Structure 1
């Protein structure tokens, strides 16, 4: 009997140790993702989910984010806008009309008013039980687990977002981005640009896009760029070689045709992933933003493209 009790105690202790080690591993995952972001590799392609997994739960919702965490996504791209009373909430559009059961501009509604609304699902069905989350709620959910790509913040609400990140101790969990020149960003935010992770957008419509990148390289020296190209003839597509030579990461956006020369999620599903995601990786992408996170992860794993050396 004594021997049996001892064996039970050892089993319980092992279970506790396993649980603690699993928890520590999860808490360290965001730090590992950041290191992967800083050290882009052809052997580990970062999976970035657009607006959370919005086919599984309402876009920009906490449940859509949790789904990404559960799947093993590295970065979740979410949109944020400022309410009338100064709170950042997860919302893509300027109004709440499309994604909630309410109406009105985000900028003309208070947080309390927005919290009374309920999100719709991807088909526009009303009566969800889920509320519009704040940036603070999102960052508390992702803390230690995943990184967040902040969209719509651009050069509008960087200070407000940074204050939330400081409060939640998640400054190193968030990626700011935009396509304004570094002179514009430094004039508006000064030394704050040295305190945040900033990913410039290389867009075809940027005038003198090579000069634009050179200015960033000479100042804050980013380690990752979001690169859009409507065709293989785009100047931004030609710049991919420069990014690779400099050891900078290249985030491809596989959402619709003019963002990735037609190598979209849809092509991956209809014609096979090699025609889309595989092509982007071949051309130098070290991260892919997708509306199909589960399928993208399965493909990357099958090709040995999730092998981190960190």
Structure 2
């Protein structure tokens, strides 16, 4: 994994850099690249015709007016017909739901991918990842009790980075012992200085989701993360986080 671009902390753009841009869209991912983020977070789901798309919700209801439907019950052509950016601003009216392959093409050689495995089989994703030589540029977010999918990644891709989230700190040592991951995921409600120390003692790194909304509260939270030695921060405000990190140097 390459070193962070902005000081000592990886910047992970949650659903891309999506302030004023449709989330989980190619423009949001491109904006994260332009800002100099280290990773974009994507949410992978499987369509009815076994294609892979990045959509956070299980349905399309929140993204378009007057339409509803479950992602897994719709085929790719139906999803591609949806104008997911129109609700954000007129300039994004032609924005469409991206496929995993479109995301790989955009990100290859430019930015890493934080892959949130919502509804997709890792075994089916790996051929595409290998095609774009992105095995070492993707971290796979999975819950620590998702033994099936964590095992699929470990067994089928020796140089991939499964990133289990143990949930409560009391589960951390068991997850580290069982999977020996190089990366651990967490959220602020479960993280702590001792959590971070335990991960680092196992020669792994930890990526943490922020939990606040206002920029003032976020800066306090980012300061705490830095004090704890958190290695990567997943944020909805990547531009502000990059500025914050640069001011630390």
TM-score by length of 2: 0.88
The structure richer in helix per residue is 1
Q: Choose which of 82, 85, 93 in structure 1 pairs with 2:46.
A: 82
SS of equivalent residue, structure 1 residue 199: strand
Cα shift readout 1:162-221 (whole Å, capped 9, x = no counterpart): 1221233322222212124475346656721524221111212x874421221112xxxx
Note closer, same or farther for the CA distance 1:252–1:207 as it changes in structure 2 (3 Å cut): closer
Q: Choose which of 171, 177, 180 in structure 2 pairs with 1:214.
A: 177
Map 1:1-310 to 2 at 5 A.
34-36=1-3, 44-101=8-65, 102-120=67-85, 128-153=93-118, 156-181=120-145, 183-185=147-149, 191-204=155-168, 208-217=171-180, 222-230=181-189, 238-254=194-210, 256=211, 264-266=212-214, 269-271=215-217, 273=219, 275-304=220-249
8 Å contact from structure 2 (residues 17, 23) kept in 1 = yes
Post-superposition offset of 1:148: 0.7
Please identify the structure whose Cα radius of gyration is greater. 1
Note closer, same or farther for the CA distance 1:109–1:272 as it changes in structure 2 (3 Å cut): closer
Note closer, same or farther for the CA distance 1:190–1:300 as it changes in structure 2 (3 Å cut): closer
More displaced stretch, 123-132 vs 192-201: 123-132
TM-score by length of 1: 0.72
- C-alpha distance in structure 2 between counterparts of 1:216 and 1:36, whole Å: 23
8 Å contact from structure 1 (residues 228, 237) kept in 2 = no
The structure richer in strand per residue is 2
Note closer, same or farther for the CA distance 1:146–1:124 as it changes in structure 2 (3 Å cut): same
Q: How many residues align?
A: 248
Structure 1 unaligned residues grouped into runs of 5+: 1-33, 257-263, 305-310
Structure 2 unaligned residues grouped into runs of 5+: none
8 Å contact from structure 1 (residues 202, 226) kept in 2 = yes
